[in-house]
Amino acid sequence: MDSRRRLPRVVALACAMGLLFMLPARAAEPTMVKLGTATPGGGFPVYGDALVAAMKAVDPTLEIVAMNTKGSGENIPLLEAGKLDIALVQGESAYEALNGVGRARADLRIFTAMYSSPGMFVVKAGSPVRSIADLKGQPVAFGAAGSGLVILARYVLDGIGLDQNTDFKAVFLERAGDGPAMVADGRVAALWGGGIGWPGFTAVAKAPGGARFIVPTADEIARIQAKHAFLRTLVIPAGAYPGQDALLTSVGSWSFVLMRPDLDEALAYRLAKALHAAEADLARRLPQAAETTARNTVAAAPRRELLHPGVARYLRDAGLMP
């Protein structure tokens, strides 16, 4: 065959082969997912980084981008506006949004339960403060203004007849990470926070002199729950923080990763599947994230219909939910 006639066929074959080699690369293009966390220095950004790394190790084509926000108070409207795909939301913020407390009911869905968040105060070990009542009239850092932990404090204090703004010199932070330094230099008498492994508590506990934690008494817990029944009795095991030798009992709730409701069902299923496979790795990366499990999500969801349809379908396929 004449070489001039053969050349177009060779070129066409080469082009066809090139397309075949390109197809797998195109199919493996990353799927972008926007994740809202909170201000630097708090527990949410640390959790978000661990979540992203663990899920990406399971499914490298998931491109989950963690974005700093003002916390739960900003994450909810950003989800509603479609500017985030998933976001970390503290338990009391989730409760208010999903139940329409003080606002219109949010049309959002649950991706996963994160961890339980028992609330408490931390003071310097040498502080004369021994109870919540001892903090009345004193400057107290309640966390970043947009944080759901601020809302938890409001419920806890209201349950024992105290007001966050009038009974204390309430300080609301620009960044969650600013609190420990304020305790250290005496600008505030105490820092409020929650959960196991919370960075603010760890920083105060590791500071020279150490720390002491203040939780509600058994009688105060009963009063809080009588008024705000959605708050659960939760424990902080001994050794959760440096120098904390005894188990502590407080109240709180489960924090969640919420999803915008119109997120593609197939993508939600894929995210749920990747997270389920990543549970052990996530726990290794961040001890408090050991509570982030598919089983805990089923148990912690206030109502099954609040689970995203794609997540619910995965949980049923995995045999974790009827």
pLDDT means per 10 residues, the chain with 322 residues, are 49 44 52 95 93 97 96 96 97 94 96 95 97 98 88 96 97 92 97 92 96 98 97 94 96 96 98 98 95 96 96 98 94
Query: Where a domain ends, among 209, 229, 253?
Result: 253
- Both 100 and 185 in a single domain? no
- Both 123 and 110 in a single domain? no
User: Which residues fall within 8 angstroms of residue 316, CB to CB, at 6 or more apart?
Assistant: 322
Residue 159 within a domain: yes
- Both 235 and 277 in a single domain? no
| Token pair belonging to 218 | 């058994």
- Both 241 and 274 in a single domain? no
Q: How far apart are CA 292 and CA 288, in angstroms?
A: 8
- Both 246 and 309 in a single domain? no
What is the domain range of residue 131?
A: 117-253
pLDDT reported for residue 17: 43
Cα dihedral 246, 247, 249, 254, rounded to 10, equals 140
Query: Where a domain ends, among 218, 253, 288?
Result: 253
| DSSP annotation of 101 | S
Got the DSSP string for 178-240? GHHHHHHTTS-SEEEEESSS-HHHHHHHHSTT-EEEE---HHHHHHHHHH-TTPEEEEE-TTS
- Both 107 and 125 in a single domain? no
Count of the separate structural domains present in the chain: 2
pLDDT reported for residue 226: 98
- Both 268 and 180 in a single domain? no
Q: pTM value?
A: 0.79
Residue 241 within a domain: yes
Residue 3 within a domain: no
- Both 128 and 248 in a single domain? yes
- Both 79 and 202 in a single domain? no
- Both 246 and 264 in a single domain? no
Q: Could you tell me the CATH number of the domain that includes residue 156? A: 3.40.190.10
Residue 84 within a domain: yes
Residue 124 within a domain: yes
Q: Give the Cβ contact number of residue 47 at 10 Å.
A: 26
Q: How far apart are CA 33 and CA 125, in angstroms?
A: 43
Residue 292 within a domain: yes
Residue 205 within a domain: yes
- Both 198 and 259 in a single domain? no
Query: Where a domain ends, among 253, 279, 294?
Result: 253
pLDDT reported for residue 127: 97
- Both 82 and 123 in a single domain? no
Residue 166 within a domain: yes
